[in-house]
């Protein structure tokens, strides 16, 4: 037992200290994983147990103005991240095939304005689920929805902790662009119910999600097959199956919603 405990302690020290990026270690929520994990546990209990119990005997809240403001802020935040990811990296000197994490003032700026900002946005994304529950739309708090939001907080934390820049940050740029489109749709829907009933919008937002995860799947596959790349391959071994899983989940949702249902009409 002592051997197992010692091994676990050494592994924790290795992950949390030895291979952590020095640029980001002292940023809020980045020193250890425990505050973030506690926050996610509270999130799960809130949207699956506490809030549904609170709303059981209450009418749904009218959050139209709150959600519209939230969507507008999300659009601005995602646009900020996309802009800086392009200016400081992908339209500047970053390579699509193999881009190592850099050091220096510009690398710190990229880590802060792109990767850490993205992490904070993924935390804010959890409000999507809270809004569903407060509006008594519990059916939309699906496994796919909760898994995606929970997982993206963990992935974005890992990016900031270990690889705040470089090859893996393509995920940040692509996902933030998709969220600009998605939150624009949500903003329009908050003001005009006709957008909620528009299958055109919903269908193409889902298609964009599938394209996103396919691009990221191929992007991380390129990292594995690229010879002598100085970006660590371990994130690719996690994100390749993760993105493939998301393609399958969103593909199944797309089939059941826009193909199967259409055939049965």
Q: Does pLDDT of 190 surpass 80? A: no
46 neighbors 40 (Cβ within 8 angstroms): no
pLDDT of the residue at 194: 64
Spell out the SS3 assignment of 174-201.
Answer: HHHHHHHHHHHHHHHHHHCHHHHCCHHH
Distance CA 95, CA 92 (A): 9
In the structure, what pLDDT confidence band is assigned to residue 39 with cuts at 50, 70 and 90?
A: very high
67 neighbors 190 (Cβ within 8 angstroms): yes
Q: Which of 4 and 180 is assigned the larger pLDDT? A: 180
pTM of the predicted protein model: 0.89
Distance CA 119, CA 10 (A): 27
Distance CA 158, CA 86 (A): 21
Q: What is the mean pLDDT of the chain?
A: 89
170 neighbors 239 (Cβ within 8 angstroms): no
In the structure, what pLDDT confidence band is assigned to residue 133 with cuts at 50, 70 and 90?
A: very high
What does the pLDDT look like over 192-207, one tens digit per residue?
A: 666 566 556 678 888 8
Q: Choose among 139, 120, 140: nearest CA to 128.
A: 140
Q: Which of 148, 167, 204, 228 is catalytic?
A: 148
Q: Where are the domains of the chain?
A: 62-264
Residue in this structure with the two tokens 């339209």, named with its chain if needed: 91
Distance CA 106, CA 111 (A): 9
Please indicate whether residue 219 is annotated as part of the active site. Answer: no
Distance CA 146, CA 126 (A): 9
């Amino acid at each position: 037992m002592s051997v197992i405990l010692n091994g676990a302690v050494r592994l924790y020290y290795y992950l949390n200290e030895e291979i952590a990026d020095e640029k980001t270690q002292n940023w809020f929520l980045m020193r250890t994983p425990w505050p973030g994990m506690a926050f996610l546990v509270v999130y799960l209990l809130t949207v699956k147990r506490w809030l549904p119990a609170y709303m059981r005997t209450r009418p749904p809240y009218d959050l139209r103005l709150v959600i519209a403001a939230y969507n507008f802020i999300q659009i601005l935040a995602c646009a900020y991240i996309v802009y800086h990811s392009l200016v400081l990296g992908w339209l500047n000197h970053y390579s699509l095939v193999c881009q190592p994490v850099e050091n220096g003032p510009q690398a710190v700026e990229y880590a802060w304005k792109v990767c850490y900002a993205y992490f904070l946005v993924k935390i804010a994304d959890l409000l999507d689920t809270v809004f569903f529950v407060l509006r008594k739309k519990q059916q939309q708090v699906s496994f796919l929805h909760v898994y995606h939001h929970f997982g993206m907080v963990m992935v974005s934390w890992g990016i900031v902790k270990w690889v705040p820049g470089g090859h893996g940050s393509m995920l940040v740029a692509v996902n933030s662009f998709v969220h600009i489109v998605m939150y624009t749709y949500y903003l329009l829907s908050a003001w005009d119910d006709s957008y909620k009933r528009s299958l055109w919008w919903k269908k193409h937002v889902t298609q964009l999600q599938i394209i996103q995860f396919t691009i990221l799947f191929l992007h991380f596959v390129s990292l594995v097959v690229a010879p002598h790349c100085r970006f660590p391959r371990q994130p690719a071994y996690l994100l390749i199956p993760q993105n493939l899983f998301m393609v399958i989940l969103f593909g199944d949702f797309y089939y059941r919603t826009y193909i199967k249902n259409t055939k049965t009409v």
